[in-house]
Amino acid sequence: MYALMNAKIRLYVEHPLGAGQSVPLNRDQAHYLFGVMRLTVGGAVALFNGRDGEWQATVAKAGKRGGVLALNTQSAPLQMPPDLWLLFAPIKKARTDFIVEKAAEMGAARIVPVQTDFTNSERVRQDRLQAHAVEAAEQCGATFVPEVTGLQKLDRILADWPEGRQLMFCDEAAIGAPSGMADIAATHSAKPWAILIGPEGGFSDAERTRLRALPFTHIISLGPRILRADTAVVAAITLWQHALGDWQQ
Ligand code: SAH
């Protein structure tokens, strides 16, 4: 019943959210709320900004190029995802969009496109991918939006690796081996983590040798079949969330 009382439309804004605040709308937001969703003055919207939880708001002014929302009450506190980064090698555009959307829905805290030896795309549209993460958060009820970084070289990230963060290296060369997740879950629970998924061409021998030698790396198999990179992302986050993340709470 609680959910029914809250606004069905959720909108991400950058403005601070708090009691008594009013939030100005830009042209795109006004178009979405009043043009697409047909809201009028007095209509209800739920707002979040990734920092202040979710707030119920009412349309105070509605125009073609802007508008104002008045905040009522907080309907949910900020809920942070676990400290999990997803590192993935970007693939074709639609599949990369899918990866970002699914990682945001499933509870990654940071999404990092990485350039590996066999990565085809040299560039990613960071703003587009970030917009996909925002949309995913709007539709799945999240109050946090993961940051999507620009493309980073795998070598560089590994060289600057943060102290204490563990890396789940999904290695297609481990295909068919036991996943290895149970051992990890038993020994490494309360740490920050990252998952690494390679491109369609997989990892090079040089990358595999380097990754396997790093002290923070844990090799994981995703079963006896070769998964496409986008499937591998969903499978790996599922495994991690189930064993170590916020699905076990
Ligand atoms: N072209 C490669 C497969 C790449 S699949 C080959 O033929 O071997 C894309 C990525 O998904 C891989 O780099 C790996 O990170 C992940 N992946 C896919 N299937 C996997 C499996 N069974 N175990 C572990 N990782 C897997």
The predicted structure's pLDDT at residue 3? 43
164 conformational bin, left if phi > 0, alpha if psi -120 to 50, beta if neither: left
Do residues 173 and 60 share a domain? no
* Residue that terminates a domain, selected from 45, 76, 107: 76
Per-residue pLDDT tens over the stretch 93-108: 999 999 999 999 999 9
> Ligand 1 atom closest to Cα of 199?
9
CA distance 28 to 242: 38
Number of residues written out for the chain: 249
Cα–ligand 1 centroid distance for 181 (angstroms): 16
Ligand 1 within 6 A of CB of 117: no
Do residues 217 and 105 share a domain? yes
Kindly list the distances between the CA atom of residue 167 and the CA atoms of 23, 128, 135, in Å, as whole numbers in the listed order. 40, 27, 27
Pocket test for ligand 1, best of 118, 175, 226 (most atoms within 8 A of CB): 226
Kindly write down the DSSP assignment for every residue of 17-72, as one continuous string: --TT-EEEE-HHHHIIIIIIS---TT-EEEEE-SSS-EEEEEEEEE-SS-EEEEEE
Residue with tokens 């481990």: 174
Cα–ligand 1 centroid distance for 96 (angstroms): 16
Ligand 1 within 6 A of CB of 175: yes
CA distance 36 to 134: 18
Q: Which domain holds residue 43?
A: 10-76
Q: Whose CA is nearest to atom 3 of ligand 1?
A: 202
CATH number at residue 145: 3.40.1280.10
Over residues 112-126, mean pLDDT: 91
Provide the domain count of the chain.
Answer: 2
The predicted structure's pLDDT at residue 80? 96
Ligand 1 within 6 A of CB of 180: no
Do residues 28 and 97 share a domain? no
Ligand 1 within 6 A of CB of 148: no
Local confidence band at 5 (pLDDT 50, 70, 90 cut-offs) = low
Strand 147-148 versus strand 22-25 pairing type: unpaired
pLDDT at 1 over 50: no
DSSP bridge partners of 113? 88
Kindly list the distances between the CA atom of residue 82 and the CA atoms of 67, 130, 192, 246, in Å, as whole numbers in the listed order. 35, 19, 8, 6
pLDDT at 109 over 50: yes
Q: Whose CA is nearest to atom 6 of ligand 1?
A: 202
Could you say which DSSP state residue 15 is in? Answer: S
Q: Where are the alpha helices (DSSP H) in the chain?
A: 2-5, 27-30, 93-106, 126-140, 154-159, 181-187, 205-213, 229-244
Do residues 34 and 90 share a domain? no
Do residues 116 and 227 share a domain? yes
Ligand 1 within 6 A of CB of 155: no
CATH number at residue 56: 2.40.240.20
Q: Is residue 3 part of a domain?
A: no
Q: Is residue 107 part of a domain?
A: yes
Do residues 100 and 215 share a domain? yes
CA distance 228 to 236: 12
Q: Is residue 249 part of a domain?
A: no
Residue 125 backbone dihedrals phi, psi, to 5 degrees: -85, 95
CB 84 within 8 A of CB 194: yes
Do residues 38 and 131 share a domain? no
